[in-house]
């Protein structure tokens, strides 16, 4: 299924922004301290920066709502069976569990900064250990969007090349159930349809993409096989000739701990 009409219109109607001052990146969220994997080069244009929405990240990545409802159901069942003590224990454990998960979501959002440039996507992530992930756009083989509430959404990227990172290092910024070929995911980002169109626009400068921004429908895939890919979007997002890569190399996904 092709990307939603909203994303198509956003990609067609909105020009790429003129760029963001590099200095702003060191004053917003985790810094890279000059690390080349996490710091745009002087000749790179920073097109967008953002971080996950806390409430949405807690609900979708840390499953606070689902687990809270589950514990509430346990407490309700205990009450129906006349076991007040068990109901209180279940309710107390549920509150503690949701609070702990929300704290982890807050720490994750606070320690995350996504940066899109005209050459790559940078992910500054890591709660306990700061990690910088560098994704050259020319290595992006496919991009997929999952719309969320309030114009937010998740954008997963399928990466080519030889160097891949594990799910543990990327989590929670990784598409669920794809263990053999982990897909970095921008989680709960605002104005996701517009950002998805922007990624497709910039990626088209580096040649044709195998799968241009399809809509994520089913995440329960554990083998890495995703079936046939639909056709690309508009012709203007087709091959534009192989461009330079700002000296970032062709090794694909790269990452390093701080």
* 138-195 confidence digits (pLDDT tens): 888 888 889 888 889 999 988 876 656 677 788 898 888 877 778 899 999 998 988 9
Cβ pair 179, 227 in contact under 8 A: no
Phi/psi at 106 (5° precision): -65, -45
Across the strands, what pairs with 156? 144, 185
Q: What is the pLDDT of residue 96?
A: 97
Q: What is the pLDDT of residue 112?
A: 92
Tokens 């840390």 correspond to what residue?
62
User: Nearest to residue 204, comparing CAs of 16, 34, 24, 77?
Assistant: 16
| pLDDT-based confidence at residue 97 (cuts at 50, 70, 90) | very high
Q: What is the pLDDT of residue 242?
A: 27
Higher pLDDT, 208 or 90: 90
Cβ pair 136, 249 in contact under 8 A: yes
- pTM value surpassing 0.75: no
Token reading at 103:
């704290």
Helix, strand, coil percentages in the chain from 3-state DSSP, rounded to 5: 35, 20, 45
| pLDDT-based confidence at residue 107 (cuts at 50, 70, 90) | very high
Q: What is the pLDDT of residue 197?
A: 87
């Amino acid at each position: 299924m092709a990307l939603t009409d909203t994303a198509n219109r956003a990609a067609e109607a909105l020009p790429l922004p003129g760029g963001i001052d590099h200095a702003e990146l060191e004053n917003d969220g985790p810094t890279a301290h000059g690390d080349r994997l996490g710091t745009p080069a002087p000749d790179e244009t920073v097109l967008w920066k953002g971080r996950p929405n806390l409430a949405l990240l807690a609900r979708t990545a840390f499953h606070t709502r689902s687990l809270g409802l589950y514990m509430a159901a346990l407490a309700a069942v205990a009450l129906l069976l006349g076991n007040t003590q068990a109901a209180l224990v279940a309710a107390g454990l549920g509150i503690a569990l949701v609070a702990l998960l929300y704290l982890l979501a807050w720490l994750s959002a606070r320690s995350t900064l996504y940066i899109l440039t005209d050459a790559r996507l940078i992910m500054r992530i890591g709660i306990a250990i700061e990690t910088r992930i560098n994704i050259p756009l020319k290595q992006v083989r496919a991009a997929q969007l999952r719309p969320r509430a309030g114009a937010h959404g998740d954008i997963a990227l399928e990466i080519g090349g030889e160097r891949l990172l594990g799910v543990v290092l990327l989590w929670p910024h990784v598409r669920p159930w794809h263990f053999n070929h982990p897909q970095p995911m921008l989680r709960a980002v605002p104005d996701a349809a517009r950002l998805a169109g922007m990624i497709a626009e910039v990626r088209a400068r580096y040649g044709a993409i195998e799968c241009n921004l399809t809509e994520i429908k089913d995440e329960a895939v554990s083998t890495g096989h995703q079936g046939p890919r639909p056709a690309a979007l508009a012709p203007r997002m087709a091959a534009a000739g192989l461009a330079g890569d700002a000296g970032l190399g062709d090794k694909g996904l790269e990452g390093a701990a701080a």
